[in-house]
Amino acid sequence: MALSQQWTVASVADGDTITVRRGGETKKIRFCGIDAPEKAQPLGKESKANLQRLVNEVGGRVMITPIESDRYGRTVAEIFSSKNGVEKSLNEEQLSSGNAYIYTQYVGKCPNKIAFGNAEVIAQSKKLGVWSGNYQRPWDYRKQQRNR
């Protein structure tokens, strides 16, 4: 896949999906290696709001490091922001704040998977967000919805 490129976030769909724009091009981006609660799940709105806050802090400008395309045609990527010379991974931020889980089935291709694991451990130890109660995992929720 291509090297990192700067994009502007056009919209935040949920806690692990954004739409970005550059010039006349628009792309839907799925965060590599993380899975946030669905909007209808407990903490789904909070996860989306946290990602929106992270995006707003940098005026919507992010760096996208594409990894692959998924079966829905979305670009799976690591997303970074930079403010005052400090770069941070938004994937990692969602994990460390308890706004997403590591998506173990898909994290293997993410270059920063070890950092993701460390970020999730921090959230678990502090009982933040998804770790503050016994919440259903997003992948189990989606499976349950499909089987209805």
Q: Is 78 a catalytic residue?
A: no
- DSSP codes, 54-120: HHHHTTTEEEEEEEEE-TTSPEEEEEEEEETTEEEEHHHHHHHTTS-EE-TTTGGG-TTHHHHHHHH
137 catalytic? Reply is no
For residue 141, count other CB atoms closer than 10 A to its CB: 18
What pairs with residue 35 in β-bridges? 101
Is residue 93 flagged as an active site residue? no
Active-site residue (options: 21, 25, 38, 137): 38
Q: Which of 21, 30, 46, 148 is catalytic?
A: 30
**Of the listed 22, 68, 74, 148, which one is catalytic?**
74
Catalytic center residues:
30, 38, 74
